[in-house]
Amino acid sequence: MIEILEPYNGENFIRYPVIINEKKHIFEIKYNTEILNNDIDGIVAMLAPIAICNRWRITSKLPIDKLLYDNLLNIPFVYRKFYNQNANQLGNLQKERISLKLDLPKIVRDSSYRKNITPISLGVDSMHTIDVNKKDLTHLIYINHFDTSTNIKIFPQLVELIALKYKKELIIAESNFLSVLNSLKLPGTNFHIFLSDAILFASCYPLGIKNLYFSGFGGDIPCLISQNSEVTQFFNSNVTKIVQNQTLRIKKLKYLAENTLAMTTLRVCNEDYISKNKGILNCSKCKKCSRTLVYLYMLGRINDATTFEKVDDNYLEYYLENHFQSKEYPRTVASTYYDKIFLNILKLYKENGNLNDLDNYDFIFIGEENVIFNRKVSHRNALA
């Protein structure tokens, strides 16, 4: 069982005592601004994957929003949909036994909150989300101890630069959410499968949010990943609306290539890396860096990204030989699908000699296979 006890908070921090499998844990988050509520709604959403994968009930004497309550009950249906690809991540439950049990009072919340927030990481998805929603966003949030950027000393300065340039208020948070969840070592705590957007939702909720903008991975990936719109749509409540960004990653890069600020601050790296001599933010060698570089190469914009090491004109061949499907990097279910998208993008590039017409194409999954769809000459329904 998971029991959420009464939170306690000050002006700019909140602690959530939670009993998980008979052991008490304290989830804590601090902000550089005041908190507006100590509701448990976000924490319930964050703990839902653990409850599902361990067949535990989430209980509390405290209420959550009725719409959120009803929406969360739909998450098991998404888990069942992608069961064949993710059975081992779902605690090896039988498909028909995947469910969520909530024993919580329900309340219809009413709110006048006006914060429109998105997390900032300086990555492709983050920078694209910020730029395309710059008219509506009011705040950016950066959470320490959430990813490898915490270990890079100049990172807060770069985040502040982006907030200043876009004229958005920057919220800095310190959280132990991820470390506590990692320490549990339970089914449902895989960060990339279950928790990244759930933790962000729980981290932002006490601030009073009207719209929370998730960056998404794009590409309509048919498996469980945390930034999966089929799951995160169920974080909607009577007070908070989730806004998705599922644009294909290479299209985001094509868009950002016209943005000098993005190209001079972009960081996608999987490593705790920064060049001390050159100030370069990306190792330019890990799988994420390599895939970003090869996409920029195919877009003809590789020299615009100053946060990477320079590469030569043979980079595409080098990537295909040394990085694509390399055994050196751990494989995930999602990476299989990203490779299928990549092969179709490569096919389009080789057929045309460029990707100038990229925006006219969609790369959609029909079952397990990725299909190139040209909106100029055909209709999506014709592929159904």
Q: Give the tens place of pLDDT for each residue, 166-222.
A: 999 999 999 999 999 999 999 999 998 999 999 999 999 999 999 999 998 877 788
Quick check: is 46 in a domain?
A: yes
Kindly report the backbone phi and psi dihedral angles of residue 243, in degrees, each rounded to the nearest multiple of 5, phi listed first: -110, 125
257 within domain boundaries: no
With a cut of 80, say whether residue 108 has pLDDT above it.
yes
pLDDT (0 to 100) of residue 57: 98
Same domain, 111 and 237: yes
Q: Is 112's pLDDT higher than 90?
A: no
| pLDDT at 384 exceeding the cut of 80 | no
Summarize pLDDT for 261-276 with one digit per residue, the tens. Answer: 999 999 998 888 888 7
In percent, the amount of the chain with pLDDT more than 90 equals: 71
Confidence bin at 330 (pLDDT 50/70/90)? low
Q: Band of the pLDDT at 361, cuts 50, 70, 90?
A: very high
Q: Is residue 262 part of a domain?
A: no
pLDDT band for position 141 (cuts 50, 70, 90): very high
pLDDT (0 to 100) of residue 92 = 84
Distance CA(341)–CA(368), nearest Å, equals 11
Residues 24 and 150 in one domain: yes
Q: What is the pTM of this model?
A: 0.94
Mean pLDDT, range 295-319, rounded to an integer:
90
The answer, yes or no, to whether residue 381 has pLDDT greater than 90, is no
Which pLDDT band, with edges at 50, 70 and 90, does 120 fall under? very high
Decide: helix, strand or coil at residue 382. Answer: helix
321 in the same domain as 229: no
Please count the structural domains in the chain. 2
Distance CA 90, CA 23 (A): 22
Q: Count other C-beta atoms under 10 Å from residue 240's C-beta.
A: 25
Domain span at 370: 287-302+310-383
Residue with the bigger pLDDT between 100 and 330: it is 100
Direct distance between the N- and C-terminal alpha carbons of the chain, in angstroms, rounded to an integer: 43
How much is the pLDDT for 322?
Answer: 83
Is the pLDDT at 277 greater than 90? The verdict is no
pLDDT confidence of residue 326 = 72
Mean local confidence (pLDDT), 127-133: 97
Most confident of 149-158, 161-170, 306-315: 161-170
Q: What angle do CA 251, 252, 256 make, to 5 degrees?
A: 120
For the cut 60, the answer to whether the pLDDT of residue 133 exceeds it is yes
**What's the average model confidence in pLDDT over 13-18?**
97
Does some domain include residue 260?
Answer: no
For the chain, the average pLDDT equals 91
Same domain, 105 and 221: yes
In a domain, 367, yes or no: yes
Q: Is residue 251 part of a domain?
A: no
Asked if residue 252 is part of any domain, the answer here is: no
Is residue 324 in some structural domain?
A: yes
Yes or no: say if 29 and 174 are a contact pair by the CB < 8 Å rule: yes
Residue 40's Cβ-side half-sphere holds a number of Cα atoms within 13 Å equal to: 27
Please determine, for residue 111, whether its predicted confidence score (pLDDT) is greater than 90: no
The reply to whether 235 and 293 lie within a common domain is: no
Residue 213: what pLDDT? Answer: 97
3-class state of residue 145 by DSSP: coil
